[in-house]
Amino acid sequence: MEIDITTLADLAILDTQDDFSLFNKINFCQTSGGRETLLKNLITPLPSIEAITGIQQTIQFIDRHIAHWPAQITNGSVMMIEKFYHATVDEIPVNPSPAGVLSYKLFSSADFSFVKYSTEHAFDFIKGIKQLLHFFYTEDTPSSLKKILMQAAEGINKPEFAIIDKFSKSKNLNNKEQLHLANFLRYRYKQNMLALLAIYYQLDAWYSMAKAVKHFGLVFPTFTQKQKPLLQVKGLFHILLQQPVDYDMELKAGKNFLFLTGANMAGKSTFIRAVGTAMYLAHIGMGVPAKEMKLSLFDGLLSNINVMDNIVKGESYFYNEVQRIKATVQKISDGRNWLILIDELFKGTNVQDAMKCSTAVIEGLLKMQQSVFILSTHLYEIGEPLKKYPNIVFNYFETDVKNDRLVFNYQLKEGISNDRLGYIILKNEGVVDMLQRL
């Protein structure tokens, strides 16, 4: 599935420095390498239903066996292993005599301590990989997981690791045995170890996804093999919110355009982002924040939410809105399945101009039956003339006014909103009184 940087930002998918992002929300990785691999997984939507189903099955399998995940593999362990291969040390003897061990310990004391400490962590890592193979490499293991575990099994099938099976902890090894193992790891196993670390990072990323599914109560969506677009969801909520409200929604062939209205703060933007985030999660094989979700495979996802002006280039807000719409139309004219999210179209011009521009864009997009559109607007007036088009659905978020106070229920209803509450908000915030006192 194709997605661009703007959409990733609009949906708060990637920002690794911001706690309020999808990546940080689902990051339960135990290693920094796993974290980097999770990020790669997150920005690489899967190309087919078969690939998506394979990752779904892998995550579910890991969740069922997660009690057997090796606790001895930690971020400190893998960092120490990586450091072991980058550090400069005096040559480690391969099979030293007692005198050779003593010599290395005396004349290379700092290196001896470093090598011994590194070997202990490598011992624990190999032990953990063996534990993963024991509990996760079975006849029932999903193919995606089995393939990578098979690579791990081939990587540790070395006679030098028999000693790891013999002892429960590396501290049970004497100095000669530790130096012998360290020599093998350092000079004959480096590439294998680096490959094994990469394998574990992918396993750690899947572990993180399994933990997130469990922690947030996510459900795995069902994909339909039909070519016609479908996006059907019950109990949808936004995963980034502490106290989200859930929604039900269905868009499909013949009813593929949602015209969404409602007052400011009524929930339009949150709803649009919730739909986009859930659809994106579905396409990386993750569970989704909903009670139930059924959808077709989409070829792309584009949003038009946080458009900015560009002072340096001298480009106005409205100009950049037009450019974003232009780029969207060019993209989706290829006949593939797209989900297009547009929040408050043409905010950068006057009302009459915005109405005319919005109507022209909507009427053009309505011709594209292979894609699904969600568009929110304050321009309620343009809704009525659009009712002549059979493939448009009208929903709104209702806002009540009680004792001059706005009450938002965040419930999606059929129809077009006619709320005009800007002055009430201005008054409630004390701005009207402030202006009158000037």
Task: State the DSSP string of 181-194.
Answer: HHHHHHHTSHHHHH
What pLDDT, on a 0 to 100 scale, did the predictor assign at position 312? 38
- With beta carbons less than 8 A apart as the criterion, state whether 375 and 259 touch: yes
Shared domain for 248 and 107, answered yes or no, is: no
Shared domain for 270 and 127, answered yes or no, is: no
Shared domain for 207 and 246, answered yes or no, is: no
Return the closest-CA partner of residue 208 out of 13, 391, 69. 69
Residue 187 lies in a domain: yes
Residue 12 lies in a domain: no
Confidence check: pLDDT of 309 > 60: no
Residue type, position 172, single letter: N
In which residue are the tokens 């933007």 written? 269
Domain termination site, one of 216, 249, 264: 216
Q: How confident is the model over 232-248, as a mean pLDDT?
A: 93
Shared domain for 104 and 232, answered yes or no, is: no
Torsion of the alpha carbons at 241, 247, 252 and 257, rounded to the nearest 10: -80
What pLDDT, on a 0 to 100 scale, did the predictor assign at position 364? 95
What pLDDT, on a 0 to 100 scale, did the predictor assign at position 339? 98
CATH assignment of the domain containing 142: 1.10.1420
Q: Would you call 220 helix, strand, or coil by DSSP?
A: coil
Q: Would you call 436 helix, strand, or coil by DSSP?
A: helix
Query: Length of the chain, please?
Result: 438
Tally Cβ neighbours within 10 Å of residue 136. 22
- The upper half-sphere exposure of residue 190, i.e. CA atoms within 13 Å in the direction of its Cβ, equals 10
Residue 160 lies in a domain: yes
Shared domain for 283 and 302, answered yes or no, is: yes
What pLDDT, on a 0 to 100 scale, did the predictor assign at position 227? 87
Shared domain for 280 and 353, answered yes or no, is: yes
Give just the sign of the alpha carbon dihedral 347, 350, 351, 355: negative
How do beta strands 257-262 and 392-402 pair?
parallel
406 confidence band (pLDDT: 50, 70, 90): low
What pLDDT, on a 0 to 100 scale, did the predictor assign at position 293? 98
What pLDDT, on a 0 to 100 scale, did the predictor assign at position 372? 97
How do beta strands 292-296 and 392-402 pair?
unpaired
Residue 414 lies in a domain: yes
Residue 14 lies in a domain: no
Contacts of 55 (CB under 8 A, 6+ apart): 46, 144, 206, 284, 285, 286
Shared domain for 362 and 399, answered yes or no, is: yes
Give kind and range of the element (H or E) at residue 330: helix 317-332
Q: How confident is the model over 427-437, as a mean pLDDT?
A: 78
Domain termination site, one of 216, 236, 262: 216
- Supply φ then ψ for residue 257, to 5 degrees: -130, 120
Shared domain for 282 and 209, answered yes or no, is: no
Return the closest-CA partner of residue 146 out of 137, 155, 154, 156. 137
Residue 152 lies in a domain: yes
Q: For the packed helices 49-64 and 190-216, what is the interaxial angle rounded to 10 degrees?
A: 80
Shared domain for 47 and 129, answered yes or no, is: yes
Q: What is the secondary structure of 107-147 as a DSSP string?
A: HTHHHHHHHHHHHHHHHHHHHHHHHHHHHH-STTS-HHHHH
Shared domain for 191 and 311, answered yes or no, is: no
Question: CA geometry: angle at 178 spanning 173 and 183, to 5°?
Answer: 155
Domain termination site, one of 175, 201, 216: 216
What pLDDT, on a 0 to 100 scale, did the predictor assign at position 423? 65
Range of the domain at 148: 31-216
Q: What confidence tens digit (pLDDT) does each residue in 322-341 have?
A: 888 999 999 999 889 999 99
Q: What confidence tens digit (pLDDT) does each residue in 261-270 have?
A: 987 777 899 9
Residue 266 lies in a domain: yes
Q: How far are the Cα atoms of 10, 235, 244, 266, 421 from residue 262, in angstroms, in the given order?
A: 20, 20, 18, 6, 10
Residue 1 lies in a domain: no
* Distance separating alpha carbons of residues 181 and 160, to the nearest angstrom: 7
What pLDDT, on a 0 to 100 scale, did the predictor assign at position 197? 98
Shared domain for 199 and 237, answered yes or no, is: no
* Number of structural domains in the chain: 2
Confidence check: pLDDT of 311 > 70: no
What pLDDT, on a 0 to 100 scale, did the predictor assign at position 424? 66
Confidence check: pLDDT of 240 > 50: yes
Confidence check: pLDDT of 405 > 90: no
Shared domain for 200 and 227, answered yes or no, is: no
CATH assignment of the domain containing 358: 3.40.50.300
314 confidence band (pLDDT: 50, 70, 90): very low
What pLDDT, on a 0 to 100 scale, did the predictor assign at position 308? 58
